[in-house]
Amino acid sequence: MVERQSPLELAPLEPELRTGSHGDFEHGIDVILSETRPGSILQLAAWPGQEKKLISGIRTVTGLALPDGAGAGSTDGVRSVFGFAPGKFTVVDGAEGLASAFANVVTPAIGTVTDLSHGRTAIRIAGPKAEWVLAKLFAIDFALPAFPVGAGRSTMHHDVFAQIQRTGADQFDIYVFRSFARSFWKALCHASEEVGYEVQ
Amino acid sequence: MLITCPYCGPRDVIEFTYQGDGNRERPQPASQNLDAWNAYVYDRLNPAGDHNEIWQHSGGCRAHLKVVRNTLTHDISSVAFARGDHKAAARHKAEGKA
Ligand SMILES: [Zn+2]
Protein backbone atom coordinates (compact mmCIF):
# COMPACT_ATOMS: atom_id res chain seq x y z
CA MET A 1 0.00 0.00 0.00
CA VAL A 2 1.28 3.46 -0.80
CA GLU A 3 2.47 5.44 2.17
CA ARG A 4 -0.14 7.70 3.64
CA GLN A 5 0.23 11.36 4.52
CA SER A 6 -1.99 12.87 7.17
CA PRO A 7 -4.30 15.58 5.78
CA LEU A 8 -3.79 17.41 9.07
CA GLU A 9 -0.08 17.83 8.42
CA LEU A 10 -0.11 18.47 4.69
CA ALA A 11 0.63 22.21 4.64
CA PRO A 12 4.19 22.62 5.91
CA LEU A 13 3.73 26.33 6.71
CA GLU A 14 0.46 25.99 8.57
CA PRO A 15 -0.03 22.47 9.83
CA GLU A 16 -3.39 22.11 11.51
CA LEU A 17 -2.17 19.47 13.91
CA ARG A 18 -0.14 21.42 16.47
CA THR A 19 0.86 19.23 19.39
CA GLY A 20 0.80 20.78 22.85
CA SER A 21 -1.69 22.56 25.09
CA HIS A 22 -4.19 25.05 23.73
CA GLY A 23 -7.18 27.14 24.72
CA ASP A 24 -8.02 27.60 28.37
CA PHE A 25 -5.54 24.95 29.56
CA GLU A 26 -4.41 26.97 32.58
CA HIS A 27 -7.52 25.72 34.40
CA GLY A 28 -6.82 22.15 33.41
CA ILE A 29 -6.88 20.08 30.25
CA ASP A 30 -10.31 18.52 29.86
CA VAL A 31 -9.97 16.92 26.43
CA ILE A 32 -7.13 15.37 24.45
CA LEU A 33 -7.33 15.43 20.67
CA SER A 34 -5.33 13.14 18.41
CA GLU A 35 -5.32 11.54 15.01
CA THR A 36 -5.29 7.76 15.46
CA ARG A 37 -4.12 6.88 11.93
CA PRO A 38 -5.40 3.29 11.74
CA GLY A 39 -3.83 1.19 9.00
CA SER A 40 -7.19 -0.16 7.80
CA ILE A 41 -10.67 1.36 7.67
CA LEU A 42 -13.21 -0.89 5.96
CA GLN A 43 -16.89 -0.74 5.19
CA LEU A 44 -18.64 -4.12 5.12
CA ALA A 45 -22.15 -4.59 3.79
CA ALA A 46 -24.31 -7.71 3.85
CA TRP A 47 -26.81 -8.62 1.16
CA PRO A 48 -30.35 -8.99 2.50
CA GLY A 49 -30.56 -12.04 4.74
CA GLN A 50 -26.76 -12.46 4.96
CA GLU A 51 -26.15 -10.23 7.98
CA LYS A 52 -25.54 -13.06 10.47
CA LYS A 53 -22.91 -14.61 8.19
CA LEU A 54 -21.19 -11.26 7.80
CA ILE A 55 -21.17 -10.73 11.58
CA SER A 56 -19.65 -14.17 12.12
CA GLY A 57 -17.06 -13.39 9.42
CA ILE A 58 -16.12 -10.22 11.31
CA ARG A 59 -15.63 -12.31 14.46
CA THR A 60 -13.49 -14.81 12.54
CA VAL A 61 -11.16 -12.13 11.17
CA THR A 62 -11.02 -9.62 14.03
CA GLY A 63 -11.94 -11.67 17.09
CA LEU A 64 -14.54 -9.03 17.91
CA ALA A 65 -18.10 -10.12 18.73
CA LEU A 66 -20.82 -7.71 17.64
CA PRO A 67 -23.53 -7.24 20.26
CA ASP A 68 -27.14 -7.29 19.06
CA GLY A 69 -28.88 -4.12 18.00
CA ALA A 70 -28.63 -1.16 15.67
CA GLY A 71 -25.37 0.73 15.97
CA ALA A 72 -23.89 -1.81 18.37
CA GLY A 73 -20.16 -2.42 18.31
CA SER A 74 -17.05 -3.32 20.22
CA THR A 75 -13.36 -2.53 20.40
CA ASP A 76 -10.25 -4.12 21.87
CA GLY A 77 -8.09 -1.03 21.57
CA VAL A 78 -6.47 -2.11 18.30
CA ARG A 79 -9.43 -3.37 16.28
CA SER A 80 -12.89 -1.85 16.32
CA VAL A 81 -16.22 -2.64 14.72
CA PHE A 82 -19.64 -1.00 14.80
CA GLY A 83 -22.85 -0.99 12.80
CA PHE A 84 -23.55 2.31 11.05
CA ALA A 85 -26.57 1.36 8.92
CA PRO A 86 -28.85 -1.66 8.46
CA GLY A 87 -26.58 -4.56 7.47
CA LYS A 88 -23.50 -2.34 7.23
CA PHE A 89 -20.46 -2.16 9.47
CA THR A 90 -17.27 -0.16 9.83
CA VAL A 91 -14.26 -2.29 10.75
CA VAL A 92 -10.97 -0.67 11.77
CA ASP A 93 -7.55 -2.13 12.48
CA GLY A 94 -4.36 -0.44 13.62
CA ALA A 95 -2.49 -2.54 11.04
CA GLU A 96 -2.75 -2.39 7.28
CA GLY A 97 -4.05 -5.26 5.16
CA LEU A 98 -7.41 -5.94 6.83
CA ALA A 99 -9.21 -5.94 3.47
CA SER A 100 -7.20 -8.91 2.21
CA ALA A 101 -7.89 -10.76 5.47
CA PHE A 102 -11.59 -10.47 4.67
CA ALA A 103 -11.23 -11.48 1.03
CA ASN A 104 -11.88 -15.20 1.57
CA VAL A 105 -14.29 -14.75 4.47
CA VAL A 106 -16.81 -12.26 3.08
CA THR A 107 -17.55 -14.02 -0.19
CA PRO A 108 -19.52 -12.31 -2.98
CA ALA A 109 -22.56 -14.32 -1.87
CA ILE A 110 -22.45 -12.76 1.60
CA GLY A 111 -21.69 -9.12 0.89
CA THR A 112 -19.09 -6.55 0.00
CA VAL A 113 -15.85 -5.20 1.47
CA THR A 114 -14.88 -1.62 0.63
CA ASP A 115 -11.45 -0.35 1.64
CA LEU A 116 -11.74 3.27 2.84
CA SER A 117 -8.35 3.41 4.54
CA HIS A 118 -7.22 6.28 2.35
CA GLY A 119 -10.58 8.01 2.26
CA ARG A 120 -11.24 8.62 5.94
CA THR A 121 -9.38 10.39 8.70
CA ALA A 122 -9.79 9.09 12.25
CA ILE A 123 -9.82 11.68 15.04
CA ARG A 124 -9.97 10.80 18.73
CA ILE A 125 -11.33 12.99 21.49
CA ALA A 126 -10.80 11.81 25.06
CA GLY A 127 -11.25 13.30 28.49
CA PRO A 128 -13.89 14.34 31.02
CA LYS A 129 -15.36 17.00 28.70
CA ALA A 130 -15.41 14.89 25.51
CA GLU A 131 -19.20 14.45 25.67
CA TRP A 132 -19.64 18.17 26.32
CA VAL A 133 -17.52 19.22 23.34
CA LEU A 134 -19.12 16.75 20.92
CA ALA A 135 -22.62 17.73 22.05
CA LYS A 136 -21.86 21.23 20.75
CA LEU A 137 -21.13 19.83 17.28
CA PHE A 138 -23.58 16.94 16.81
CA ALA A 139 -27.32 16.78 17.56
CA ILE A 140 -27.27 13.30 19.09
CA ASP A 141 -27.35 12.01 22.67
CA PHE A 142 -23.80 11.36 23.93
CA ALA A 143 -24.81 10.26 27.44
CA LEU A 144 -23.39 6.84 28.32
CA PRO A 145 -26.77 5.05 28.72
CA ALA A 146 -27.90 6.27 25.26
CA PHE A 147 -24.50 5.79 23.61
CA PRO A 148 -22.73 2.83 25.25
CA VAL A 149 -19.05 1.96 24.91
CA GLY A 150 -18.39 0.25 21.57
CA ALA A 151 -21.52 1.65 19.89
CA GLY A 152 -21.36 3.68 16.69
CA ARG A 153 -23.47 6.49 15.24
CA SER A 154 -23.82 7.95 11.74
CA THR A 155 -24.55 11.64 11.79
CA MET A 156 -23.23 14.89 10.41
CA HIS A 157 -21.79 18.24 11.40
CA HIS A 158 -22.75 21.09 9.06
CA ASP A 159 -23.33 18.60 6.24
CA VAL A 160 -19.99 16.88 6.88
CA PHE A 161 -20.85 13.22 7.33
CA ALA A 162 -19.27 11.59 10.36
CA GLN A 163 -19.22 8.17 11.95
CA ILE A 164 -18.60 8.24 15.68
CA GLN A 165 -17.69 5.26 17.86
CA ARG A 166 -17.50 5.44 21.63
CA THR A 167 -14.26 3.60 22.43
CA GLY A 168 -14.23 4.40 26.15
CA ALA A 169 -16.40 5.92 28.86
CA ASP A 170 -14.96 9.34 28.00
CA GLN A 171 -13.41 8.62 24.59
CA PHE A 172 -14.81 8.83 21.06
CA ASP A 173 -13.28 8.04 17.64
CA ILE A 174 -14.66 10.14 14.79
CA TYR A 175 -14.31 9.11 11.14
CA VAL A 176 -14.66 11.96 8.63
CA PHE A 177 -13.99 12.23 4.91
CA ARG A 178 -10.32 12.89 4.39
CA SER A 179 -11.09 15.97 2.28
CA PHE A 180 -13.03 17.51 5.19
CA ALA A 181 -10.58 16.44 7.89
CA ARG A 182 -8.75 19.78 8.16
CA SER A 183 -11.88 21.89 8.50
CA PHE A 184 -13.47 19.43 10.91
CA TRP A 185 -10.30 19.30 12.99
CA LYS A 186 -10.27 23.08 13.14
CA ALA A 187 -13.91 23.17 14.28
CA LEU A 188 -13.15 20.54 16.92
CA CYS A 189 -10.19 22.58 18.20
CA HIS A 190 -12.33 25.74 18.42
CA ALA A 191 -15.05 23.82 20.26
CA SER A 192 -12.42 22.51 22.71
CA GLU A 193 -10.84 25.87 23.50
CA GLU A 194 -13.15 26.73 26.41
CA VAL A 195 -12.36 23.48 28.26
CA GLY A 196 -8.60 23.47 27.59
CA TYR A 197 -7.24 20.86 25.21
CA GLU A 198 -4.05 19.07 24.40
CA VAL A 199 -3.11 17.80 20.96
CA GLN A 200 -1.07 14.61 20.99
CA MET B 1 -39.11 18.55 13.53
CA LEU B 2 -37.63 15.21 14.59
CA ILE B 3 -37.88 11.99 12.62
CA THR B 4 -37.23 8.81 14.59
CA CYS B 5 -35.18 6.68 12.23
CA PRO B 6 -35.82 2.97 12.92
CA TYR B 7 -32.04 2.42 12.89
CA CYS B 8 -30.55 5.64 14.32
CA GLY B 9 -33.22 6.94 16.68
CA PRO B 10 -34.62 10.48 16.86
CA ARG B 11 -32.74 12.88 14.58
CA ASP B 12 -33.22 16.45 13.42
CA VAL B 13 -34.98 16.86 10.08
CA ILE B 14 -31.79 18.45 8.69
CA GLU B 15 -30.29 14.93 8.46
CA PHE B 16 -33.10 13.78 6.15
CA THR B 17 -33.87 14.32 2.47
CA TYR B 18 -37.45 14.34 1.22
CA GLN B 19 -37.85 11.79 -1.57
CA GLY B 20 -41.42 12.56 -2.49
CA ASP B 21 -45.01 11.52 -2.10
CA GLY B 22 -45.31 7.94 -0.81
CA ASN B 23 -48.73 7.37 -2.36
CA ARG B 24 -47.51 7.21 -5.93
CA GLU B 25 -47.24 3.91 -7.72
CA ARG B 26 -44.71 3.85 -10.51
CA PRO B 27 -45.97 2.05 -13.64
CA GLN B 28 -43.82 -0.74 -15.05
CA PRO B 29 -41.04 0.87 -17.10
CA ALA B 30 -42.43 -0.63 -20.34
CA SER B 31 -45.95 0.54 -19.60
CA GLN B 32 -47.57 2.66 -22.32
CA ASN B 33 -50.56 3.51 -20.14
CA LEU B 34 -50.42 7.31 -20.41
CA ASP B 35 -53.07 7.79 -17.74
CA ALA B 36 -51.01 5.77 -15.29
CA TRP B 37 -47.86 7.75 -16.11
CA ASN B 38 -49.75 11.01 -15.88
CA ALA B 39 -51.07 10.04 -12.46
CA TYR B 40 -47.58 8.99 -11.31
CA VAL B 41 -45.97 12.24 -12.42
CA TYR B 42 -48.67 14.79 -11.62
CA ASP B 43 -51.49 13.56 -9.39
CA ARG B 44 -51.06 14.36 -5.70
CA LEU B 45 -53.52 13.91 -2.85
CA ASN B 46 -52.27 17.07 -1.10
CA PRO B 47 -54.11 16.26 2.14
CA ALA B 48 -54.51 18.64 5.06
CA GLY B 49 -53.55 15.99 7.60
CA ASP B 50 -51.68 12.68 7.57
CA HIS B 51 -49.58 12.18 4.45
CA ASN B 52 -47.56 9.15 3.30
CA GLU B 53 -44.05 10.25 2.40
CA ILE B 54 -40.68 8.78 1.46
CA TRP B 55 -37.65 10.24 3.21
CA GLN B 56 -33.99 9.23 3.14
CA HIS B 57 -31.81 9.45 6.24
CA SER B 58 -29.12 10.88 4.00
CA GLY B 59 -27.09 12.38 6.87
CA GLY B 60 -27.15 9.15 8.88
CA CYS B 61 -27.66 5.50 7.98
CA ARG B 62 -28.84 6.47 4.45
CA ALA B 63 -31.87 4.15 4.67
CA HIS B 64 -35.03 5.08 2.78
CA LEU B 65 -38.01 5.44 5.09
CA LYS B 66 -41.78 5.36 4.83
CA VAL B 67 -42.98 8.26 6.97
CA VAL B 68 -46.48 9.42 7.86
CA ARG B 69 -46.34 13.18 8.52
CA ASN B 70 -49.22 15.44 9.39
CA THR B 71 -49.06 18.37 6.99
CA LEU B 72 -50.82 20.67 9.47
CA THR B 73 -48.83 19.89 12.63
CA HIS B 74 -45.63 18.17 11.33
CA ASP B 75 -46.49 15.37 13.74
CA ILE B 76 -44.73 12.16 12.62
CA SER B 77 -47.03 9.26 13.47
CA SER B 78 -45.13 6.41 11.80
CA VAL B 79 -41.63 5.65 10.46
CA ALA B 80 -40.59 2.36 8.88
CA PHE B 81 -37.91 1.13 6.50
CA ALA B 82 -39.10 1.50 2.91
CA ARG B 83 -37.49 -1.90 2.33
CA GLY B 84 -39.21 -4.29 4.68
CA ASP B 85 -36.42 -6.72 5.53
CA HIS B 86 -34.56 -4.87 8.28
CA LYS B 87 -36.96 -5.46 11.14
CA ALA B 88 -34.30 -7.28 13.14
CA ALA B 89 -32.04 -4.25 13.07
CA ALA B 90 -34.66 -1.82 14.33
CA ARG B 91 -33.92 -0.38 17.73
CA HIS B 92 -36.29 2.53 17.88
CA LYS B 93 -40.03 2.46 17.60
CA ALA B 94 -41.55 5.51 15.99
CA GLU B 95 -42.39 7.78 18.88
CA GLY B 96 -44.62 10.00 16.82
CA LYS B 97 -43.37 13.26 18.26
CA ALA B 98 -42.64 16.05 15.82
ZN1 LIG C 1 -30.94 6.36 10.14
Binning pLDDT at 50, 70 and 90, where does residue A2 land? low
Give pLDDT, residue A137.
97
CB A153 within 8 Å of CB A164: yes
Q: Do B8 and A156 touch (CB under 8 A)?
A: no
Answer whether A85 touches B (CB < 8 Å).
Answer: yes
Three-class DSSP labels, chain A:
CCCCCCHHHCCCCCCCCCCEEECCHHHCCCEEEEECCCCEEEEEEECCCCHHHHHHHHHHHHCCCCCCCCCCEEECCCEEEEEEECCEEEEEECCCCHHHHHCCCCCCCCEEEEECCCCEEEEEEECCCHHHHHHHHCCCCCCCCCCCCCCEEEEEECCEEEEEEEEECCEEEEEEEHHHHHHHHHHHHHHHHHHCEEEC
Give pLDDT, residue B98.
37
Q: Do B61 and A155 touch (CB under 8 A)?
A: no
Residue A10 predicted with pLDDT over 50: yes
CB B79 within 8 Å of CB B34: no
CA atoms in the 13 A half-sphere facing the CB of B46: 3
Which of A139, A141, A154 is facing B61, going by the closest CB pair?
Answer: A154
Query: How far is A159 from chain B, CA to nearest CA, in Å?
Result: 7
- What's the pLDDT tens digit per position in B55-70? 999 999 999 999 999 9
For B69, the 3-state DSSP assignment is strand
Architecture field, domain A13-37+119-199? 2-Layer Sandwich (3.30)
Give pLDDT, residue B94.
42
Give pLDDT, residue A124.
97
Q: Do B8 and A69 touch (CB under 8 A)?
A: no
- What's the pLDDT tens digit per position in B33-88? 999 999 999 999 999 999 999 999 999 999 999 999 999 999 999 999 998 654 44
Residue B89 predicted with pLDDT over 50: no
In this structure, how many other beta carbons lie within 10 angstroms of the beta carbon of residue A95? 11
Which of A51, A154, A159 is facing B8, going by the closest CB pair?
Answer: A154
Topology adopted by domain A40-115:
Alpha-Beta Plaits (3.30.70)
Dist CA B36 CA B54 (whole Å): 20
Give pLDDT, residue A8.
80
Which of B15, B59, B91 is facing A70, going by the closest CB pair?
Answer: B91
Give pLDDT, residue A42.
97
- In chain B, whose CA is at the least distance from the CA of A85? B61
Kindly list the domain boundaries of chain A, sorted by start residue. Answer: 13-37+119-199, 40-115
Binning pLDDT at 50, 70 and 90, where does residue A17 land? confident
Task: Tell me the H-state helices in B1-98.
Answer: 34-42
pTM for the structure as a whole: 0.89
Please determine whether the domains at A13-37+119-199 and A40-115 fall in the same fold group of CATH: no
Q: Do A159 and B92 touch (CB under 8 A)?
A: no
Chain A with chain B: Cβ pairs closer than 8 A: 55
Distance A198 CA to ligand 1 centre (A): 33
Residue A28 predicted with pLDDT over 70: yes
Pairing of strands A197-199, A31-35: parallel
State the CATH number of the domain containing residue B15: 3.30.2270.10
Binning pLDDT at 50, 70 and 90, where does residue A1 land? low
Give the count of domains, chain B. Answer: 1
pLDDT, averaged across chain A: 93
Query: How far is B98 from chain A, CA to nearest CA, in Å?
Result: 15
Residue A149 predicted with pLDDT over 50: yes
More confident residue, A1 or A154: A154
Name the residue range of residue B67's domain: 2-97
